[in-house]
Chains A and B, each alone.
Chain A
Amino acid sequence: MTARTLRRTGMPNRGGWPVKLSVFLIVVLWTIPSLGLLVSSFRPASEATATGWWTALFSPLATDWTFANYANVLGKGGMFDAFVNSLIVTIPATVIPITLAAFAAYAFAWVKFRGRAFLFAVVVGLLVVPLQMSLVPLLRIYQATGLTGSFLGIWLAHTGFGLPLAIYLLYNYISQLPKDIFESAYIDGATPFTAFTRLVLPLSYPALAAFAIFQFLWVWNDLLVALVFLGTTSDVSVLTIQLATLAGTRGESIHLLSAAAFVSMVLPVVVFLALQRFFVRGLLAGSVKG
């Protein structure tokens, strides 16, 4: 049944040309801004500020194409370290909140305990606490516990800031899993823990993957939290800090910034493409719903 469900989804696969055209139009509209940036990243600064990027596309031969912007961005020392540091920060800072959130969302959805609805409302309400407001009180705690500048410190910080959204999104998905599979599992002698690991996690792949992407992007692109909790010393400095350092501001011109932006975008886009497959696998498992 699973394979069939995968192919025959909600709407049948029979879009006419209006459908194709609309899709194409939206894709073009959504791509133009980034395309402009991509083209700019291969143009020298004086050209980029003198003429529109499309002129380079229309007259590619008259354009002084250059890799100098990328060489400039990548050639600086510390770039590799920063990339590795970004990974060290981002991967656990994605996995830890997902794990905590999945456990919590599962309990909120399927395990009865006192204060459940209240606690859940509090967690969801915390979605709106502005990050900037938390920085100073937290930094005091960090100072007292020696967490400043440590990877553990920034994992926990990103976990804290990401948890409400994670719990909220995962709850929405997990709570919609069919009740009877849990009932039959408990009859078979499963504990809540085994039900979680053997049922909830596999069945929630789409939601887990979706949140993983967003948390990954958020952490990967984050500058403020890294700046405050991790600092700028080279042994822990992450990619965004390195790039901000390099590109300065827009004042340093679009050409460096555009190259820097693409360097930092490569991994998130690859991650998305890779996780798309997990979406599909998750959907296979999710088909028990039908």
Chain B
Amino acid sequence: MKKHRWSIALVALALLLAACGDTGGETTTTGGDEEPTTTAGEEPTTTAGAPAGETPYTELNAAIAGDYEGTSVEIVAQWAPDGAEATSFDLALQPFRDATGIEVNFEPTVEYETALQVRVDGGNAPDLAQIAQPGKMQQYADAGSLINLSEWFNVDQLTQDQVAGFVELGSHNGDLYGVYYKTDVKSIVWYPIQGFADNGYEPPTTWEEMIALSDQIVADGNGNPWCISIESEAADGWVATDWMEDILLRTAPPEIYTQWYNHEIPFNDPEVLEAAEYMSQIWFTPDYAYGGNTYINATFIGNTQDPMFDPAGPQCWMQKQAAWIPGFWGENKDFTDPADWPNKPGEDVGFFYFPTIEEEFGQPVLGGGDMFVMFNDRPEVRALLEYLATAESSAAWIERGGFVSPNVNVPLDSYTTYPETELSTMVANATTFGFDASDLMPADVGAGTFWSGMVEWVAANGEGTEEIFQSIEDSWPAG
């Protein structure tokens, strides 16, 4: 499929994690330290501090001892070939290559999802593959394509090492199939720093303040407060689903969120409709969104914020989008290397946390992530997957920027690049980490009718909310 990795990253499943303790719903198996996660393996090799020493992982230790020297492992990911992400990941693999003498072939792939699917179906699956959607992992697991990690992986160690909930996201029917490697944070709103300063605007910290600021901008005749658009090739609409999810996390208890993506409550539950109401307050209030609903539907997500960089001053002031967006700002488009960007994130444009709505639900964070799944079971493949679970495996990428790890052993002060410093703190302080719900719903909905329904809703300028949400509910696959 032709989507970019960031657009795909949004398509997925949701999960509630609590930064401390388990507030997750029923599907979330316990993430606490004391209660060992049920491992299905006959002979779990879970004893930490295995024979060979330094790492808690058996095969990795054997690999470091040189047992698998000269073997090779193929790993694939959708990070744009020739792009910064692919380079960073390749660098992150280097310490493993150096330490073990295992040849790791990393191939970023175009048309990633289709290519991977066809390779798996054709019996030519790569050893390890990156997947953004838990739902996709479940499809592969149900089809019997994936190696069940529970049988040998040190799950206890992984549960200890990762932000609570990620092990469950990588699990299916109680067995572990995917190991999370990377997370994305979506609950942020970008704004022009100088423009705010010139007009005396303050980044809002509550929903009311945000509405007041929006009214203020309209009243000042400073154009429209919001830059919003959702056109994204075959994936139109995902930006809107992110909004829905982020708001729902702020207006309802985490259980509702979990029940929502598990379809234990209807898609159009009153709680969800209430969240939609909040959303339409920003999306469809006249003069709030730049260019109105036509702009929202007709503008490519990479151009959403162009009016913010209008030479005559910002024509729209706030954009809710994840941390990859700076590459698309104004003249930044002319440069592939972030070092050359004329509009520097953090200097020219900053972000604030998408504010709390109801006090009792604290400071939730909506995010996504990338996991690795295993198709071929060989000791050297196990070793590489174990390596990817360690904090060391992300060091090189973190140094280059653009990476937030789900691994709690990564010291917060190792994040030295903007905006990861702030984002990693935000994740650490979150009361709830909600995984992108559309990625957790069946693809027919989460990558289908939920997206297209949002597009219709926008086309109708917020009219007919109940009918549209009802039709999404109706499209939920039976069983």
Contact = CB atoms under 8 A, between A and B. Distances in A.
B302 A139 contact: no
Interface string B288-307: 00000000000011110010
A169 to B, nearest CB: 29
A223 B2 CA distance: 11
Q: Which of B302, B331, B333 neighbours the largest number of chain A CB atoms within 10 Å of its CB?
A: B333
Contact of A50 (B111, B114, B124, B306): B306
Interface in B66-113: 80-83, 107-111
Interface in A230-246: 232-233, 241, 244-246
Contact of A143 (B109, B114, B122, B232): B122
Nearest to B110: A244
B110 A232 contact: yes
B111 A244 contact: yes
Interface in B331-347: 331, 333-334, 336
A136 B334 contact: no
Interface in B313-343: 330-331, 333-334, 336
**Interface SS, B side:** mixed
A139 B118 contact: yes
Given A232-B109, A249-B3, A136 B80 contact: no
Contact of B115 (A46, A227, A248, A251): A227
B4 A143 contact: no
Nearest to B111: A227
Contacts of B114: 224, 227
Interface residues of B, number: 33
Contacts of B108: 245
A228 interface: yes
B299 to A, nearest CB: 11
A206 to B, nearest CB: 36
Contacts, number: 80
Given A143-B124, A245-B81, A251 B331 contact: no
Nearest to A241: B110
B7 interface: yes
A142 B118 CA distance: 12
Nearest to B107: A232
Given A249-B2, A250-B233, A139 B122 contact: yes
B121 A245 contact: no
Nearest to B2: A249
Nearest to A64: B334
A248 B4 contact: yes
B7 A251 contact: yes
A289 interface: no
A179 interface: no
A250 B303 CA distance: 11
Contacts of B300: 250-251
B83 A248 contact: yes
Q: Which 3 A-B pairs have the closest CB atoms?
A: A139-B122, A45-B333, A245-B81
Given A139-B124, A143-B123, A248-B83, 10 more contacts: A45-B333, A139-B119, A139-B122, A143-B124, A223-B111, A232-B107, A245-B80, A249-B4, A250-B233, A250-B300
